[in-house]
Structure 1
Amino acid sequence: MPILLRKAGQPQPVGNVSPPIAFDPRFTDVVAKGAQLWSLYDQAVFSEGPVWWPAREILVWSDVEGRRVLGWHPDGRVEVVVDATPFTNGHTIDAAGNLIHCEHGSRALSCTTPDGRTSVLVRDYDGRRFNSPNDVTCALDGALWFTDPAFGLHSPRQGALDEPELDHRSVYRFDPRTGQVERMADFEQPNGLAFSPDGSTLYVSDTSQALSGTRHEIQAFNVTEGGRLSARRLFAVIEPGVPDGFRVDRRGWIWTSSGTGVQVFSDRAEKLGLIPTPQAATNCAFGPGERRLFITSQQHLYALDLGG
């Protein structure tokens, strides 16, 4: 029997926040003026890693420091999907419909099937353990791309204090069919990542400012045939705060967390709008048909309905 954390019921309007701000008229076609931010849950410790799981028809997200993966149902219920996690953070859905987890504590990428079976997919590169896999996305060819910063090695609240076995912090490509792991690009502290709708561009955030560095930016790469990366470039510097996690919609717009909420950019790096949140946003995800945006923010899960 799942652990019930919130009974079915209506969401609560968030009153202590400014309405969405448009910097470009295209933004109001998607986010209406005065669109209401809703509170779906407010009892997590540190919320991250949201993703819509079609096989279960729920929004899944991590309470990283509470060591649980949570699930929000459309009727308002919130239940524990996975309990006593190894500080699970980012999620994606793979080509088979499974839920893929990034685990800081186990320093691994793992999988939960719709019927609840779990397994570890990969935990090392060249015989050395990863640092603390943070976020993951599924490419059009079914490969899983993930980031491996060192955040989980520096905070016992989100991992375990330990020395890294690798001398780099990188983006990796894991092929579930062959088990092959490839190191694709190095960063100071890679964090969120997502592909453009056609898979031709990969976006990766570097948030070393959150640890001891200075970067708070999103970089972009061209993805060539065969999954190679080229033409590395700065896409946008995000301030205030850091682009902890982000998503790309069907238009190619980038919706990224920041210190003020969710900032929205066109694929040409034009700043289109801002969805303010009461606390710094940590990540976001779309619901079915991109009709709703879910936002994680400290102990909260928020939602805002979209149009267009």
Structure 2
Amino acid sequence: MRLLIWLCCCLSLQAFAQPSHLFDVTTKPQLISRQFEFTEGPSVDKRGNIFFTDQPNNKIWEYDINGKLSLFMDKAGRANGTYFDSKGNLVACADEHNQLWQINPKKKVKVLLRNYEGKLFNGPNDLWIDKNDNIYFTDPYFQRDYWTRNKSEMSGQKLFLLSKGISKPIVLDSLVKPNGIVGTPDGKHLFVADIGAGKVYKYEIKANGTITNRQLFCSETTDGITLDELGNLYLAGKGVTIISPKGEQIGHIDIPEPWTANLCFGGKDRKTLFITASKAIYIMRMKVRGVE
């Protein structure tokens, strides 16, 4: 009887360490390229093509559904996080002048936001856009060597909402250093990584787009985040950490790079996990789909 209990415990621990229902645990992430300075901000269009940024080199790249890598845009405002709206525009956190850009399919740029109440943003970092094209974005302060300023003009580091059809954003919350952000496809919940506090928070989204009921989801120091169809949250940082809908770690994907900055699901079936990590990009085939 004791032997049976011991075997069951071992199997349980093995399942926890190796979430075989999410991916083939015998495979490793595939390196696609290591030609960049620092990769960030991946997002997926309606076809499954993935766009990502090389922020220090001021470029946006495309990794298409056929595995082709090509330059999408040069002089890209030193874009960081990106996300597609319902009309196929790529919205980018343009860190060069602390703006929010909208880039249409013909690569024409429209500046959505230049400042907040006359003050420069800290540096829009990451964003999520809901099905109604409301834009949620984080604004932490990371000093850049290409800025002429050396301190923030804002009172704190905040989470913002730019509602569709509205020209001025509103402050939703203040955090230590807000970073990665993603919402659920039903528009009911929002996850925000506070990299400064080493925590990920979960909010309820109200009918008017504002948020309420901030709760600690998990205590992890993370950069970008994304969700799969089962409600698991994927955290970028030291590799990729997978958190269940209950806030419990259920798996980890090792990435052989100093830092994993961000990630998203792409490909025709949305089962390709695309990972930006330092000077490189990786992909990993999954058994689950992404929901972004």
| Fold equivalence (TM over 0.5) | yes
**How far apart, CA to CA, are the structure 2 residues paired with 1:290 and 1:22?**
27
Matched residue, 2:214: 232
Matched residue, 2:192: 204
Runs ≥4 in structure 1, deviation > 4 angstroms? Answer: none
**How far apart, CA to CA, are the structure 2 residues paired with 1:196 and 1:75?**
28
1:204-236 residue CA offsets vs partner (Å, 9 max, x unmatched): 11112xxxxxx2221111112212222112111
Match of 2:269, SS state, is helix
Letter in 2 for 1:200: K
Asked if 2 retains the 8 angstrom alpha-carbon contact of 1:50 and 1:283, the reply is yes
Asked if 2 retains the 8 angstrom alpha-carbon contact of 1:22 and 1:272, the reply is no
RMSD: 1.9
Asked if 1 retains the 8 angstrom alpha-carbon contact of 2:18 and 2:25, the reply is no
Which residue, 237, 247, 262 being the options, matches 2:226? Answer: 247
Residue 204 of structure 2 corresponds to residue 222 of structure 1: yes
The 1:22/1:221 distance shift into structure 2, 3 A limit, reads farther
Matched residue, 2:64: 73
**How far apart, CA to CA, are the structure 1 residues paired with 2:164 and 2:213?**
27
Structure 1 segments unaligned to the other structure (5+ residues) = 1-20, 209-214
**How far apart, CA to CA, are the structure 2 residues paired with 1:276 and 1:141?**
35
Letter in 2 for 1:155: R
Residue 51 of structure 2 corresponds to residue 60 of structure 1: yes
Which residue, 248, 251, 263 being the options, matches 2:241? Answer: 263
Aligned residues: 274
**How far apart, CA to CA, are the structure 2 residues paired with 1:198 and 1:72?**
27
Structure 2 segments unaligned to the other structure (5+ residues) = 1-12
1:248-288 residue CA offsets vs partner (Å, 9 max, x unmatched): 122211011121x1111111102111111002211100014
Asked if 2 retains the 8 angstrom alpha-carbon contact of 1:23 and 1:271, the reply is no
**How far apart, CA to CA, are the structure 2 residues paired with 1:246 and 1:23?**
23
Structure showing greater radius of gyration is: 2
The 1:198/1:22 distance shift into structure 2, 3 A limit, reads farther
Matched residue, 1:8: none
The 1:155/1:180 distance shift into structure 2, 3 A limit, reads closer
Which stretch shifts more, 295-304 or 59-68?
Answer: 59-68
Asked if 1 retains the 8 angstrom alpha-carbon contact of 2:83 and 2:128, the reply is yes
**How far apart, CA to CA, are the structure 1 residues paired with 2:67 and 2:131?**
32
**How far apart, CA to CA, are the structure 1 residues paired with 2:244 and 2:134?**
26
The 1:160/1:47 distance shift into structure 2, 3 A limit, reads farther
**How far apart, CA to CA, are the structure 2 residues paired with 1:115 and 1:109?**
18
The 1:34/1:180 distance shift into structure 2, 3 A limit, reads same
State TM-score, norm by structure 2: 0.88
